[in-house]
Amino acid sequence: MPPSPIAPKAWSVLIVSTLAFTTCFMVWMMFGVIGIPIRKALGLNATEFGLLTAMPVLSGSLVRVPLGIWTDKYGGRIVMAVLLAITVPAIWLLAYATAFWHFLVIGLVLGLAGGSFSVGTPYVARWFPRERQGMAMGVFGAGNSGAAVNKFVAPALMVAFGWTIVPEVYAAIMLGTLIVFWLGSASDPRHLVPSNTKFADQLRALKDPRVLKYCQYYSIVFGGYVALSLWMVQYYVGEYGLDIRIAALLAACFSLPGGVLRAIGGLLSDRHGAHKVTWWVMWLSWVCLFLLSYPQTDFTVLTVDGPKSFHIGLNVYGFTALLFLLGIAFAFGKASVFKYISDDYPHNIGAISGIVGLAGGLGGFVLPILFGALMDLTGVRSSAFMLMYGVVWVSLVWMYWTEVRKTDLLGSTPLTPKEVSV
């Protein structure tokens, strides 16, 4: 059967929506870079720094469900435009904050930019036929690369003019993005879903075990991506003693593939199915995180020739290579989880994607705080990867018993060996 035709306007909607999401993600991840001089100026410990970077993630996560519902009801064009407009003054005011609570409060407002994902996902998906929705959502999701753009732009501005110039420039970029989005986007009344559904009604979807499972998957492939994007610049500075510009460049080796390659993950999910892609994503993540978890270790062994000392630990090159592979895995996983949603809930993409996006965003909020708490408690920086390794292990076990063995609560038939293999 020939593929369904795609309306020319669909490509314009996809392009400007992806641009808007890229800008929003760049703003959402801003504290991952400018938080370092703020931490020094305010004398914050690791836990407080984790809280600072996580505040925008919290608000951006909590608004995802209502934004998804409003997108279903009112359309993605108007909801996205209003969201972009609200964030502009908050971004600008950040340059004039002086106290820790100022940054936390403003961070909550500018964090609304993170909710743009739950607007754009159903918005762009409905412009494409079902067999191409994985590709469309993958291309849109590549806006995650805004995290890498932030790591290129913010350090350069900070070195030249100081950190306060960053939010002023970002506010101007957001305003320009709003104008471009409005001119290039469109509305189609056929895409609206008449509904009187309330937030509490949508949360009832959590009774569906598939939704809970997708929430858990997304908490690691997206939540872990967000958390590490916020955490890695200061990790490189502290662990390897690098200059902030070099640290940001190396951290982008994780953020960039973790965003851009999401489109490829969408294509693979369209072709091979969401389960196969997600299954191998989790295994690759598990291996990478196991290796990243090992701390820098010096030990002495008594040999027949006397004591000999050894050192085990990743150098900056091996560490960055593993991060790069992890970024690729997370990129594919973010796309495959939303392919599950478009397959299982074609008439309720906005609300379900909002719930799953909420879970992923909350993972991105909680993990940086836990990273800081673990480092304050143990003094071991790689404890962040130890924590994420455990979360991935939960995903693998859950997927094995509910999909590979097909003994989940839905009572589905078992997969054949051919279906399980890639």
221-259, pLDDT tens digit by residue? 988 888 888 888 889 988 898 888 898 888 888 888 876
Evaluate if residue 412 carries a pLDDT over 50. no
Task: Please check whether residue 166 is in contact with residue 149, taking contact to mean a CB–CB distance below 8 angstroms.
Answer: no
Measure the CA–CA gap between 374 and 240, rounded to whole angstroms.
Answer: 19
If you ran DSSP here, which 8-state letter would residue 142 be given?
G
Reported as a single tens digit per residue, the pLDDT across 252-265 is: 888 888 767 777 88
Domain ranges of the chain: 8-185+199-420
Residue-level pLDDT at 65: 77
pLDDT band at 397 (very low <50, low <70, confident <90, very high): confident
What's the pLDDT band for 198 if we cut at 50, 70, 90?
Answer: low
Asked if 269 and 136 count as a contact pair (C-beta separation under 8 A), the reply is no
Neighbours of 357 (CB within 10 A): 28
Give the confidence band of 421 by pLDDT, cuts at 50, 70, 90: very low
Is the CATH number of domain 8-185+199-420 1.20.1250.20? yes
Four-point Cα dihedral 355, 360, 362, 365, nearest 10: -150
- Position 188 scores a pLDDT of 75
pLDDT, tens digit (0-9, with 9 covering 90-100), for 336-373: 887 887 777 776 666 677 788 788 888 888 888 899 88
pLDDT of 279 > 70? The answer is yes
Which of the residue ranges 179-188, 247-256, 402-411 would you say has the lowest mean pLDDT? Answer: 402-411
pLDDT surpassing 90 at residue 117? no
Q: Give the separation between CA 88 and CA 82, rounded to whole angstroms.
A: 10
Q: Contact 48/91 with Cβ under 8 angstroms?
A: no
Query: How far apart (Å, rounded) are the C-alpha atoms in residues 76 and 67?
Result: 9
